[in-house]
């Protein structure tokens, strides 16, 4: 496999993630093409000044591509991979950056022999979506998970790692199954709690608007993830159902134990102190990781 500097890269899906990836990759690959179906997105993409070519369809640039980076929501990635099942051109590498990996690597397993597939998931983002919010530093310091298939070439795992490092991220290789199980706890469960809390407060506030006077920074932070793009999140949750259910079952057990202790302040205190210590450990671990 050639090095990143010799690679012609095409990014499909020029939202926050795809757009930021392009800004970060600028000048580090042989050619950089962008593909997006939305006229306005392409207009903004051209204005970024980092693409060799910006096209409405993948077909227009596929022949000039060595590495295809799929940066759309998960279901669109699966559909794009299905579209490559009858690919008959020269060798092609495909890396996706979708947020769940099991369905995507299953679709990659169906690709023809000359298409080399690698799953990827950069652990970054921000509250605002779309190419208008893209920034070159988005990937800096983030973990960039790579989930190879049994058939993935070592060369493509190397190129994926090189790409992750090139945008300032830390590549971490694990199986798709393990990735999906872990992000169900670290990302999907927090989102579900935030979204259900947001809906609960909305219903209570509709009946008694005194609620809005008594909500402050704690509520704001705990519900922040509820502001995530529902299309992206619906794709993520529906493609990671069993891991999400397992994470939720665990969280409910912990919560039920707290609720069972509402009559026993000392026992409740012990459990809350454990939660506090766990949160402080997490903070310390993050600081150590960033040091």
Give, as ranges, the residues between 142 and 171 that touch its own copies (CB under 8 A).
142-143, 145, 170
- Determine, following the binding rule CB under 8 A, whether residue 179 of this chain makes contact with its own copies: yes
When binding is defined by CB under 8 A, the residue of 113, 271, 290, 291 that contacts its own copies is 271
- Determine, following the binding rule CB under 8 A, whether residue 43 of this chain makes contact with its own copies: no
- Determine, following the binding rule CB under 8 A, whether residue 106 of this chain makes contact with its own copies: no
Rounded Cα gap, residues 123 and 103, in angstroms: 18
Q: In angstroms, what is the minimal distance from the CB of 245 to its own copies?
A: 7
* Beta carbon nearer to its own copies, 18 or 122: 122
**3-state secondary structure string, the chain?**
CCCHHHCEEEEECCCHHHHHHHHHHCCCCCEEEEECCCHHHHHHHHHHCCCCEEECCCHHHHCCCCEEEECCCHHHHHHHHHHCCCCCCCCEEEEECCCCCHHHHHHHCCCCCCEEEEEEEECCCCCCCCHHHCCCCCCCCCEEEEEECCCCCHHHHHHHHHHHHHCCCEEEECCHHHHHHHHHHHHHHHHHHHHHHHHHHHHHHHHCHHHHHHCCHHHHHHHHHHHCCHHHHHHHHHCCHHHHHHHHHHHHHHHHHHHHCCCCHHHHHHHHHHHHHHHHHHHHHHHHHHC
When binding is defined by CB under 8 A, the residue of 40, 59, 135, 281 that contacts its own copies is 281
When binding is defined by CB under 8 A, the residue of 203, 287, 290, 291 that contacts its own copies is 203
- Determine, following the binding rule CB under 8 A, whether residue 231 of this chain makes contact with its own copies: yes
- Determine, following the binding rule CB under 8 A, whether residue 283 of this chain makes contact with its own copies: yes
- Determine, following the binding rule CB under 8 A, whether residue 132 of this chain makes contact with its own copies: no
When binding is defined by CB under 8 A, the residue of 46, 244, 260, 291 that contacts its own copies is 244
Please choose, from the candidates 75, 166, 174, 65, the residue with its C-alpha nearest in 3D space to the C-alpha of residue 57.
Answer: 65
When binding is defined by CB under 8 A, the residue of 130, 158, 168, 190 that contacts its own copies is 190
When binding is defined by CB under 8 A, the residue of 213, 287, 290, 291 that contacts its own copies is 213
- Determine, following the binding rule CB under 8 A, whether residue 259 of this chain makes contact with its own copies: yes
- Determine, following the binding rule CB under 8 A, whether residue 228 of this chain makes contact with its own copies: yes
Q: In angstroms, what is the minimal distance from the CB of 89 to its own copies?
A: 32
Q: In angstroms, what is the minimal distance from the CB of 160 to its own copies?
A: 16
Residue 202 main-chain phi, psi, to 5 deg: -65, -40
- Determine, following the binding rule CB under 8 A, whether residue 221 of this chain makes contact with its own copies: yes
Q: In angstroms, what is the minimal distance from the CB of 183 to its own copies?
A: 5
When binding is defined by CB under 8 A, the residue of 88, 265, 287, 290 that contacts its own copies is 265
- Determine, following the binding rule CB under 8 A, whether residue 185 of this chain makes contact with its own copies: yes
């Amino acid at each position: 496999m050639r090095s990143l500097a010799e690679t012609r890269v095409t990014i499909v899906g020029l939202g926050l993630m795809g757009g930021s990836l392009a800004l970060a990759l600028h000048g580090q690959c042989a050619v950089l093409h962008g593909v997006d179906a939305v006229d306005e997105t392409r207009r903004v993409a051209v204005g970024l000044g980092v693409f060799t070519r910006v096209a409405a369809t993948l077909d227009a640039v596929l022949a000039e591509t060595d590495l295809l980076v799929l940066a759309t929501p998960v279901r669109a990635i699966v559909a794009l991979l299905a579209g490559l099942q009858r690919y008959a051109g020269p060798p092609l590498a495909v890396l996706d950056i979708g947020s769940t990996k099991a369905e995507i690597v299953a679709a990659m397993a169906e690709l023809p022999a000359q298409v080399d597939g690698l799953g990827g998931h950069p652990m970054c983002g921000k509250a605002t979506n779309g190419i208008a919010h893209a920034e070159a530093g988005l990937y800096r310091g983030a973990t960039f998970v790579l989930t190879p298939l049994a058939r993935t070439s070592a060369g493509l795992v190397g190129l994926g790692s090189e790409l992750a490092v090139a945008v300032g991220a830390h590549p971490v290789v694990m199986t798709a199954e393990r990735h999906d199980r872990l992000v169900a706890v670290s990302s999907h469960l927090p989102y579900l709690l935030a979204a259900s809390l947001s809906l609960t407060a909305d219903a209570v506030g509709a009946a008694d608007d005194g609620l809005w006077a008594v909500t402050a920074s704690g509520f704001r932070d705990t519900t922040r993830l509820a502001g995530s793009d529902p299309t992206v999140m619906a794709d993520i949750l529906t493609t990671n159902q069993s891991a999400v259910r397992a994470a939720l079952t665990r969280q409910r057990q912990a919560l039920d134990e707290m609720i069972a202790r509402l009559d026993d302040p000392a026992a409740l205190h012990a459990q809350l102190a454990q939660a506090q210590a766990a949160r402080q450990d997490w903070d310390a671990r993050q600081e150590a990781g960033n040091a």
